[in-house]
Structure 1
């Protein structure tokens, strides 16, 4: 009798448990920073209600503007866009207006408008635009309570946040879990923590069968697993290479200077996929084996000559306090994120639970939240989130990899200066969900460019699919889209735009294209299984939205729904016309 197969270690480590500890944090330390111009929080205005001298001083300082709220005054300032000299002169009009023009966002907008110019970073957006060092700018102090405004006080307050202090308890606990995992002594984690699994304990089958739908941190005791990149080593190799940092594009040298001396509420985050450096760096690492199965690679056809796949691999660099607000990854893809240097705090929620402080419409095509991470934390939403049963938090340390399942809400806060790699992918276990998104969320597709999709269609329809007639529904749709596209006569600028930024184009037939590409790559059986599960997802959502069962409609002979009942049996190219949510589809697709 053969030896019994050993159960994976990931399932054995359940003998002991770490103690459950309170997870909420105190934001008291955030509130102790004094504004450099002595701007006070709005609550201090109650101390001035009987102070006639302060009221007169404010009125004299603002003139007619004293009639307006702080929000309206700042809105009026935002319309000053003719010349930075106007902003400078306005700031010299009075002490209070100097405080309004001390706000970094005003000067950041001014910088971006003239971003074609080479501007040296001098410690702040204002100093960089006006050309003097941060230490040399005037600090015109206001009398106590002359200006009480959260609008002006809060950004500076948030720029002084020290997340190492705020999250000290969480970080210390996660440090224990991290160390124990590397030593093979990890116990059962308290509820609400993201589990850690050694990379050696997972293979592709186990991942697709049991772990694809839950966040986890992949650990590895091999110190050589990932490139030993930090900001210093990248600077030696690519000092003058331009990288994308949100709204700007700086050399790594310039960005390094910014990282070391910025006073932003939300520091710029380097998130680059197309620089010359990134094309080199991508050859120097390999994805973990369990994440290498990626169905979206089929969008890259004809040996890469025709490639309409959205960007999917990024280098990420950011200072402490930077990060990302709550979001779901594009096109319902999953992702892995490898921390090379620095610690990252992750907050995660399942697809069907909108995070506190975040607003989203039914389709989740419009997501609104506080301006930045700091505002979300200081407003108490972090603590509100931790009180939710399904909320998960964790800290990744250098060498660890976070797995983010498709559809999960997640926010990331950089505790330290950090360098990371991330990639989006679609494993086989997520095929039904990806198909559901491509078919029923066409208005939320992003990263596909009309020129690239058109080039891929031309290649397929003129070569690989040229012998297929219009009796094939997908081929008919693909040809119809190409004809529509050819008749639009778009400019070169528009044709290269991200489809997520365009509203005047016919919906791209990405769903139909993806199916054909899977067939061409020998995945017909897998595609058929995925489409069968897609039909179940659609039927479940149909019943949830309408409150009617398809079986019941057929039984009672509901004439009003005969057409839709017939259509339910069609798999390709059909949409019910409802807003299909993918939140519960993982279980329903199994």
Structure 2
């Protein structure tokens, strides 16, 4: 490979195009290069598909099956680049492999989604799985609204996510303005943090949990390795999928991608009773009004979280303006906060009440938005280490960036103190069934029945 342009495609299933060494794709595209200019034009490379931009081409390729994508890789450099995008192969793996192979305990991640899909074990004796060398073509993936998905396999401390090194996840300056307190009394917590609606990291509050040793990365597979866990991935038909915890950790240790799968599992508490026994609700949050509801009626509220390094959650607020706690057992979380009255930089106001995240992915936000912030726009931040617990107040914007393989448990809470904010949100946005069930649960409680009138089962009619 030359210093400014790659003169031959990489060989081997799952390999991807690399940008010129030390030069970002956008910079390389702006530099004249005789060899690149001598290549056939994009129109010649794409033929009748030349009018389509990269996003449209990628969408078109998403309807193809594995053998069809491989065949396209031999057409031209343009088609090679488009078919090599990992999100296409991930969708195929989720659609075609996960359900059957995970059930049989046979699923294994092989470094990239493409290599996983085309592994010889799945297609023995199929010549079409061999890498095809395409005819060269210039002008591909230059004007794409998304940066090409470059992948480099290097030692962990040198790995790159979209030109962001793993070490940069730690080197970016952290505005550590969230209080960090040793274990305190419940009364102190309520007066100093819950009533003022202020975030805090509490140390030493979960040291007695069995999960502190049982959920460590080197131990958890001994106890739950065969348990199917639910990730945030969806197949092309929209289905969420599950994979064995052992397989997920294998994936987490070998993958180097733009968007990671992230275990966000709420059902594991029902399928594996031992998980619930490994931890207990911290004393600061043992009064939760949603607990008055039947388990099947209450909103989703607790999850086991397992994320590879570089994964995370974009800026968001928790549902129904509940508060939350998040306890880290393994790894480290970098948590960014903005108060409820502030629209954080990078958040699209039109998406705030939609079903989608209103900001870029966490890594993109830190790379593109964070360096441009003025002093008055800087967030409050915290680093949450193993054994720490962080309190996320009602209505606060927050994002999470996982540093190292991170294992945690989190739970949303409607306490008597946050109830007015939760009630206002439920009355304005929740469906009638949730409002009715919550109101009935409060009315049946001798202690909290006076709050039932705060929940409206019917919304006021709008004036015409």
TM score, norm. by length of structure 2 = 0.78
Paired position in structure 2 for 1:46: 30
Paired position in structure 2 for 1:71: 55
Answer yes or no: is 1:161 the counterpart of 2:85: no
Paired position in structure 1 for 2:405: 417
- Identify, as 1 or 2, the structure richer in strand: 2
- 1:270-323 CA-to-partner distances (Å, cap 9, x unmatched) read 1112126643111121122111111110012xxx6xx31223222111111111
Q: Please give the secondary structure, in 2, of the residue aligned with 1:513.
A: helix
Over 3 Å counting, the alpha-carbon distance change for 1:142 and 1:373 in structure 2 is farther
C-alpha deviation, 1:57, in angstroms? 5.1
C-alpha deviation, 1:131, in angstroms? 1.5
Q: Does the 8 Å contact 2:201/2:390 carry over to 1? A: yes
2:319 to 317, 320, 330: 330
Q: Does the 8 Å contact 2:40/2:138 carry over to 1? A: no
Paired position in structure 1 for 2:246: 253
C-alpha deviation, 1:513, in angstroms? 2.8
Matches within 5 A, 1:395-434: 395-434=383-422
Q: Please give the secondary structure, in 1, of the residue aligned with 2:100.
A: coil
Q: Please give the secondary structure, in 1, of the residue aligned with 2:115.
A: helix
C-alpha deviation, 1:324, in angstroms? 0.9
Answer yes or no: is 1:85 the counterpart of 2:71: no
Paired position in structure 2 for 1:106: 88
- 1:93-152 CA-to-partner distances (Å, cap 9, x unmatched) read 12231121111001111222224332432111111111259xx98596998975453545
Distance 1:509 1:146 in 2: 54
Over 3 Å counting, the alpha-carbon distance change for 1:408 and 1:261 in structure 2 is same
Q: Please give the secondary structure, in 2, of the residue aligned with 1:309.
A: coil
- 1:548-578 CA-to-partner distances (Å, cap 9, x unmatched) read xxxxxxxxxxxxxxxxxxxxxxx85464568
1:124 to 109, 112, 122: 112
Which structure is larger by alpha-carbon Rg, 1 or 2? 1
Q: Does the 8 Å contact 1:37/1:139 carry over to 2? A: no
- Identify, as 1 or 2, the structure richer in helix: 1
Q: Does the 8 Å contact 1:62/1:97 carry over to 2? A: yes
- 1:196-249 CA-to-partner distances (Å, cap 9, x unmatched) read 12222x32x443344111111011288445632212211011221101011231
- 1:376-412 CA-to-partner distances (Å, cap 9, x unmatched) read 2222x12345744572111111111110012111110
C-alpha deviation, 1:370, in angstroms? 5.4
Q: Does the 8 Å contact 2:73/2:132 carry over to 1? A: no
Q: Which moved more, 1:143-152 or 1:122-131?
A: 143-152
Q: Please give the secondary structure, in 2, of the residue aligned with 1:297.
A: helix
Q: Does the 8 Å contact 2:169/2:310 carry over to 1? A: no
- 1:509-567 CA-to-partner distances (Å, cap 9, x unmatched) read 42243233123121246527x84xxxxxxxxxxxxxxxxxxxxxxxxxxxxxxxxxxxx
2:353 to 364, 369, 372: 364
Q: Please give the secondary structure, in 2, of the residue aligned with 1:93.
A: coil
Distance 2:391 2:437 in 1: 28
C-alpha deviation, 1:166, in angstroms? 4.1
Over 3 Å counting, the alpha-carbon distance change for 1:385 and 1:308 in structure 2 is farther
Distance 2:78 2:456 in 1: 63
Distance 1:139 1:430 in 2: 60
Paired position in structure 2 for 1:95: 77
Q: Please give the secondary structure, in 2, of the residue aligned with 1:440.
A: helix
Matches within 5 A, 1:298-317: 298-300=292-294, 307-317=296-306
Structure 1 spans left out of the alignment, 5+ residues: 1-33, 172-190, 443-506, 532-570, 579-590
C-alpha deviation, 1:508, in angstroms? 2.2
Paired position in structure 2 for 1:495: none
Paired position in structure 2 for 1:29: none
Q: Which moved more, 1:340-349 or 1:151-160?
A: 151-160
CA RMSD, aligned part only? 3.3
Over 3 Å counting, the alpha-carbon distance change for 1:325 and 1:318 in structure 2 is same
Over 3 Å counting, the alpha-carbon distance change for 1:509 and 1:116 in structure 2 is closer
TM score, norm. by length of structure 1 = 0.62
Q: Does the 8 Å contact 1:38/1:141 carry over to 2? A: no
